[in-house]
Amino acid sequence: MRCRHLAVLVVVALMMGCGSASALPSVEVDNGMIFGGQSTKATNASTVTHNLSDLNAVVEVYTATWCDSCVYVEHAIEEVHEEGLLTPYHIHSTLSDPFGEEVLEQRFRDRYAHLTDYSHSPPGSVFNGTIKKPGKNSVLDVHDNEHDNRVEEYTGLAHRDLALGAGTTLFTWAPLTNTSGTIGWALDIEERHLDNMTFSVAAWIVESSAEYQDGSNGQGTYPHIVRDMVSLGNQTEGTATLTLPTPHDGDDLEIHLVYEIMPIVPETVDESGAEDESEENTPFISMASTLMAVGLAFAFIQRDRRD
């Protein structure tokens, strides 16, 4: 009878464990913030200005064409995107994926390296660089019925306020040729956001969608593919000329303006030299102490003999 009760308890525990694994909680990143996302098709001239408080959430989506569970994450994020609350940026794995870019994947891993079990395998998503939502196990997702719950959660994450204040951002794009153009930007932001922080600007080049029928997750068409991230420096306003990558197919490249603010990492002081010097001096100190002790002992012995 006790064995039967024990078996029931084990089954219940396993079910609870599976449930928790399939709905991992969001985790604060605590590594600065990413915002912006103003964009236009590369073939169009554009000038737009937005209040910082009105910007959509910038969502980095780590994915792969072979990742079954990525499909569930992407579909939920796409639904929130269609509601006008976020802009997704799909960063593909370089493992057996034609859309993977080594530099982009490494940058993603480096930025979220402290999320050890998360940053090295899809699926997953990071909202405005401030909070990450791990994906789900593909085995558990085979019979997934939680789409609405994910949409609700992603909607809440997209609504999170970065408290950027009453500033604005200006974005301009002027095509020069079919493969180049001039990007311009001007960010008006409260100085307190930049104090003791590292500020940078980048143009994220995105391919709207590309076909790949050999993807084992069956998507066929893969959207929002990040093709390049071009650094534009650390000034709050300026212009730059961009050379665009060749699309995988079609003519659907987009130019996105993205800002990043990260904490300044204090320089580590190399104290190994001082430690080495201390270690080197120690034998001499020990030797001097020994000689002094021997000398004193000898002096006492001599005095005792005289007495």
0.85 surpassed by pTM = no
Q: Could you tell me if residue 124 is inside a domain?
A: yes
Q: Could you tell me if residue 218 is inside a domain?
A: yes
The one-character DSSP state at 244 is: P
Q: Could you tell me if residue 300 is inside a domain?
A: no
Instruction: Determine phi and psi for 36, rounding to 5 degrees.
Output: 125, -120
Q: Could you tell me if residue 258 is inside a domain?
A: yes
Detail the DSSP E strand segments found in 68-177. Answer: 86-92, 124-127, 131-134, 168-177
pLDDT of 138: 46
pLDDT of 266: 74
Q: Could you tell me if residue 65 is inside a domain?
A: yes
Q: How many structural domains does the chain have? A: 1
Q: Could you tell me if residue 129 is inside a domain?
A: yes
Domain span at residue 236 reads 26-263
pLDDT of 2: 45
Q: How many residues does the chain have?
A: 307
Instruction: Determine phi and psi for 167, rounding to 5 degrees.
Output: -80, 180
Identify residue 156 by its one-letter amino acid code: G
Q: What is the DSSP string of 151-190?
A: HHHHHHHHT------S-EEEEEEEEEETTEEEEEEEEE--
pLDDT of 295: 53
pLDDT of 86: 98
Q: Could you tell me if residue 305 is inside a domain?
A: no
Q: Could you tell me if residue 73 is inside a domain?
A: yes
The whole-number mean pLDDT for each consecutive block of 10 residues of the chain, a chain of 307 residues, reads: 41 32 72 97 98 98 95 96 98 96 93 64 92 67 67 96 96 98 98 95 99 96 98 98 96 98 78 50 43 47 49
Tell me how many degrees the CA angle 50-54-58 measures, rounded to the nearest 5. Answer: 95
pLDDT of 74: 96
